[in-house]
Chain A
Amino acid sequence: MKKIKRKLAVLLLTLASLLVWLPLLLLLSAALMPEDELLWRYLSPLGIGKAPVRAALLPSYPSLEAFTELLIRSPGFFVMFWNSCIQTFPMLLGQLLIGAPAAWAFARLKFPGRRGIFALYVLLMVLPFQVTQVSNYLVLDCLGLLNSHLALILPGIWSTFPVFIMTRSFEAVPGALLEAAYLDGAGELQAFFLVGLPAGYPGIVTAMVLSFIDAWNALEQPVAYLKDMSLWPLSLYLPEIVSDKAAVAFAAGIVMMLPPVLLYLNGEGELEQGLAASGVKE
């Protein structure tokens, strides 16, 4: 009886995993097709003609043609890739440098208004982008930042979600560890750097991974704040590339998903721990 149940569970999970892997395989195989095979199979989805889709999980004539075309002969793709990097990484660095000390203050220091200010952070965290879109636009206009990378970077640095995640994991740092540090004569700064950061590491990684995924896929913000197409990130450029250079569209999709996938696979354990700290405690 138990064995049957176990087998049923494995079967269900296999089916669910197939729903994840099959679309991915479809994408990967399309990325490895030479142009003529691609046009024969996927004319309709690429929007350049009408013919029944002839889907394949393996290319008949595997080739890296699309990747070399994309990486060597598509300067536009490179510009957009760098735009994505420029808009993402400084923002993450800022979130870390400014957010981590704030999270430490919320989790471990006593000051008047702590609960109230934290509640404000949580409220701002759950507001959808569209709520403050127009006012943010006016603020950025005032500062003369519209239509520049900074229009995405600066508001992103002060997103309150990473602070929330890091606060939760700093709260989970055992108090005894800190007391020992204070007894040994550590000041607040030393306690933060030598005890807090190492012990709250999973939360920091979680915040960074989730922020990265969000920023890498950003769509609402660049649509609203960047008029100049040469500033667009990959997430906006990819739909354009389909009509522009259909043969490399799938390869571009694969290259775009590599950084977040690698990051996730590397930080998987920390992500689980960090989310656990955020979810279980209130």
Chain B
Amino acid sequence: MKNCLGKMERRRKRQGQSRITAGCFLAPSLCGVLLFQALPFLDVVRRSFLDAMGRSFVGMANYAAVWGNEAFRMAAKNTLYFFAAAVPALYLVSLALSLLVYRPGAGQRLFKTSLVLPMVLPAAAMALVWRILFCPDGLWNQLLYAFTGKPWEQDWVHGKAAFPILVSTYLWKNIGYDMLLWLAGLSAIPQSLYDAARVDGAGEPAQLRYITLPCLQGTMGLVLVLSVVNSFRVYREAYLLAGSYPDLSIYMLPHLFSHWFLTLDIQKMSTAAVFLVLASLPAWGFGRWLRRSGKEG
């Protein structure tokens, strides 16, 4: 009896000790995260319900104002268009490339390195090249002239055509990163599954449909979430290509935020931020569901 009590005491002591150790490991990080990340986020939510001075509670008035704001509507619409155009393309092209790269063969390493390289190239440096290509006197117009025989004077960066160019540079930059994630998923699929399928006479399309894609479900969720998160970073390209007042077709939420920031329009920014978080919840939930069900399957 005494012995048993002693054991329990010791276990409790050890548990207490491990909690203290965990606290020591975690505290420096947690304190900073709370101060620089979590509190600002809560503060944003709070301010979205307050007036401009941040004193009195105004209920949903800010939400009504932002929802009715024309610039907000346009920026939100453009951001949605951008998601709709860029994310599926990014998804499919990076998956296709990863399937091609995954087959062992000559030059596989070189291809992989080449395709991932754009991810590490600074947008500021590449903006110079995009200008050579897409300015009115640029290479792209010359190519079009060579193919169509008509002179082209289109400004692909500042004019109406800025949208597809922005989508293209975004794809160019991000395909490598997504490809690495897909490759990680592919390498986790046991080779024995394919061997068994081949014995059963399954061809390559069947293997893709019944082995590869189901096994990649977990990765699909992750890639989706990261693609949506990263697509906000396209502001860097948009800013470096077209400045802070671009063509209206690529005027997106980050542009709007930076303009409101200049005038320190705090309650509008806070409210729009809450809208943004709410709007990204479905993608987040869907990604999580994909990963969960992928894990079980």
Contact = CB atoms under 8 A, between A and B. Distances in A.
Contacts of A127: 41, 277
B13 to A, nearest CB: 14
A158 B33 contact: yes
A282 interface: yes
A21 B121 CA distance: 12
A135 B41 contact: yes
A213 B270 contact: no
Contact of A213 (B110, B120, B137, B183): B120
Interface stretch (B61-69, B82-90, B229-237): B229-237
A27 B125 contact: yes
A254 B18 contact: no
Interface stretch (B19-27, B192-200, B206-214): B19-27
Contact of B21 (A46, A109, A136, A158): A109
A160 interface: yes
A134 interface: yes
Given A217-B124, A257-B121, A257-B125, A280 B184 contact: yes
A45 interface: yes
Interface string A12-36: 1110110111011011001000000
A217 B18 contact: no
A234 B124 CA distance: 9
Q: A interface, by DSSP: helix, strand, loop or mixed?
A: helix
B276 interface: yes
A45 B138 contact: yes
A239 interface: yes
B270 A134 contact: yes
A99 B253 CA distance: 31
A132 B48 CA distance: 12
A72 interface: no
A6 interface: yes
Contacts of B236: 217, 219-220
The size bracket of the interface on B is 35 or more
Contacts of B291: 282
A102 interface: yes
Contacts of B183: 272
B41 A260 contact: no
A14 B114 CA distance: 10
Contacts of B19: 110-112
A139 B35 contact: yes
Nearest to A19: B172
Contact of A235 (B22, B40, B116, B122): B122
B33 A42 contact: no
Given A128-B276, A134-B44, A220 B28 contact: no
Interface in B1-53: 15, 18-19, 21-26, 28-30, 32-33, 35-41, 43-44, 47
Pairs of residues from A and B, 9 with the lowest C-beta to C-beta distance, nearest first: A253-B125, A135-B40, A102-B29, A276-B184, A158-B32, A105-B25, A111-B22, A238-B124, A45-B131
Interface of B: 15, 18-19, 21-26, 28-30, 32-33, 35-41, 43-44, 47, 97, 100-101, 103, 105-107, 110-111, 113-133, 135-139, 142, 172, 180-181, 183-185, 187-188, 218-219, 222, 225, 229, 232, 235-236, 239-240, 253-254, 257-258, 261, 264, 266, 269-270, 273, 276-277, 280, 284, 291-292, 295
Given A138-B43, A158-B36, A282-B291, 7 more contacts: A26-B129, A109-B18, A130-B273, A131-B44, A132-B41, A238-B125, A257-B125
21 contacts: A16-B114, A26-B132, A45-B132, A52-B142, A98-B28, A101-B25, A102-B29, A128-B276, A130-B273, A134-B261, A134-B264, A134-B269, A135-B40, A135-B43, A139-B40, A220-B258, A224-B261, A253-B126, A260-B121, A275-B184, A276-B184
